[in-house]
Amino acid sequence: MTLRSLTFVIGTGRSGSTALSRILNTHPDVLSLNEYLASVGDAAFPEGLMSGPEFWEALFRPTPYFANMIRSGLLMPEFLYTRSPGRYTAETTGVPALSLMVLPHLTDDPDGLLDEIRAAVVDWPDRPAAAHHEALFEFLGARLGRTAIVERSGYSTGWAPGLRAAFPYAKFVHLYRDGPDCALSMSRHTGYRTITLIREIKERTGIGSFSDLTEEQVRSLPPDLAPLLAERFDPALVRDRDFPLSRFGALWSELVIQGTEFLDGLPADQRMTLGYEDLLDAPREELTSLAAFVGVEPSPQWLDRACAHLDDSRRGSAGKQLTAAEFDELRRSCAPGTSALEGEPA
């Protein structure tokens, strides 16, 4: 199966990407899949064939690290379901993977839409994971009257090579933001603070996946890291920790370099770059180009609605809020990513 239009927006996150998902969701022809990859994770992309019930389980089972965060009272603004919960709760059933961020972005009745998805998916035949995802995108597009699918997850540059292999016809948009501003935003976001600690645990233990973690390795971790592996932990371990800003600058650079190197290997008609500051400066022009790339018409009405979702107030936040010394240090940690962007293909 080949969808008429499938586009993945990849990037660091904290780069105006949530606003972009909202903008795309207001277009009558775009199925905006908000944080789909972040929600379903690797479990939804196994090797070999996958049955319908197995695919349903990958869509339904709560995302482990998000579930632990919710139980611990460490919520992210991206968790849409927890703002207006339905029949699922973190303490009892767990919030299904699709329900936390994806379905509430599309409908006011995420539980009802999830029921419809289950009724369809459990009877699907055995096939590769990519074919299941394509069928789900087609199902949602038909159900909601949308023809162009755009998936957008934060912290997603590492997914890009696998997505290219699974969906070789797909297009990719690399969304980025000014390095110091983005890194400062990361440093204040519970999700990125948690990501930084998870990365530290992996570095200390040398594991590639938490499924490989042994009890001995857990015991070797310092007391401010080991509790984060439990189903419930003290949120102060994340909220109150003092992080050097340069760690987030280095993370921003790492992700931006991943994104630029990936785009370098794509055909010109399957790649697009989108700078958040460019979007703020010329929203109609940039969104018109994006619509053409995705394969939809940029109507004046849509452009009017879209501009209302853009907020220029946080531009230059790092330079305004940090001391000169802090800003210089953060800018130095962002320098590798900035250099990569300067050499990025148009």
* Residues 280-321 pLDDT 10s: 999 999 999 999 999 999 999 999 999 999 999 999 999 999
CA atoms within 13 A on the CB side of 320: 6
Angle at the Cα of 94 from the Cα atoms of 93 and 100, rounded to 5 degrees: 135
d(CA 12, CA 154) in angstroms, rounded, equals 6
Least Cα distance to 124 among 44, 58, 45, 53 occurs for 53
Q: Quote the pLDDT of residue 2.
A: 56
* Residues 28-43 pLDDT 10s: 999 999 999 999 999 9
Q: Quote the pLDDT of residue 345.
A: 47
Strand partners, 173: 9, 272
**pLDDT band at 344, cuts 50/70/90?**
low
Q: Quote the pLDDT of residue 4.
A: 75
